[in-house]
Amino acid sequence: MKKEEIEEYLQQLNNELASMDIKGELCLYGGAVMCLVYNARPSTKDVDAVFMPAAQIRQAVKQVAESNHLKDNWLNDAVKGFLTEHRKNVYLDLSHLKIYVPDPDYLLAMKTLSSRVDGTDREDILCLAKHLKIKKAEQVFSILEKYYPQQRIKPATQYFVEELFPS
């Protein structure tokens, strides 16, 4: 999904919620934020988010999927397993849907923790590091440990970060 498509689908999601007379909230994560907020990449395969009220938003997501020939999980909450307490900022405030995004340091921590060497995480991490003016692995680890206990940080993640930010 390209940035323009994500924006259109989120607007359609708002319209579906309006037709149901439901007010909803969602917080975006992952590739969608990299596309929408940081223009770091042209597209993402799906939209990672947490949302409420969950049942009604799932119903609206399904309607948007059917209308646009998308997979039912074009917007999904699989990211829940990576979430910890963090600050959220309003990205869009539509009539029936308020959309948030996390602070860039939190997104960096999430991207680093879940990093996949063969995916787009490398470029996303470098983009966020540039945005945050991070140049050293120690700075990345400091942010990671701000949000996640050290035992959740795998050795592979440590090696990955050290490779991205050599001393």
* Statement to judge: residues 93 and 114 lie in one domain: no
* Statement to judge: residues 68 and 113 lie in one domain: no
* Statement to judge: residues 114 and 89 lie in one domain: no
Ramachandran class of 30: left when φ > 0, alpha when ψ lies in -120 to 50, beta otherwise = left
pLDDT score recorded for residue 144: 96
Q: Which residues, including other chains, have CB under 8 Å from residue 86's CB and lie 6 or more apart?
A: 102, 103, 106, 147
Domain count within the chain: 2
* Statement to judge: residues 30 and 82 lie in one domain: yes
- Burial (CB < 10 A; 0-12, 13-18, 19+), residue 95, is exposed
* Statement to judge: residues 77 and 118 lie in one domain: no
Question: Sorting pLDDT into bands at 50, 70 and 90, what band is 90?
Answer: very high
Amino acid at 151: Q
Question: pLDDT digit string (tens) for 98-132?
Answer: 999 999 999 999 999 988 766 788 999 999 999 99
Determine the number of helices (DSSP H) and then strands (DSSP E) in the chain.
7, 5
* Statement to judge: residues 21 and 98 lie in one domain: yes
Q: Return the number of other C-beta atoms located less than 10 Å from residue 157's C-beta.
A: 18
Question: Sorting pLDDT into bands at 50, 70 and 90, what band is 88?
Answer: very high
* Statement to judge: residues 7 and 35 lie in one domain: yes
- Mean pLDDT for 149-158 is 91
pLDDT score recorded for residue 120: 85
Q: Beta strands of the chain (E only): which ranges?
A: 24-29, 47-52, 75-76, 88-93, 97-102
pLDDT score recorded for residue 118: 66
- Mean pLDDT for 76-96 is 95
Q: Give yes or no for a contact between 30 and 48, defined as CB atoms under 8 angstroms apart.
A: yes
Structure tokens given for 167: 């001393």
* Statement to judge: residues 19 and 43 lie in one domain: yes
Domain that holds residue 134: 106-164
pLDDT score recorded for residue 1: 96
Q: Is the pLDDT of residue 81 over 90?
A: no
* Statement to judge: residues 76 and 30 lie in one domain: yes
pLDDT score recorded for residue 61: 98
Question: pLDDT digit string (tens) for 47-62?
Answer: 999 999 999 999 999 9
* Statement to judge: residues 27 and 71 lie in one domain: yes
Question: pLDDT digit string (tens) for 14-40?
Answer: 999 999 999 999 999 999 999 999 999
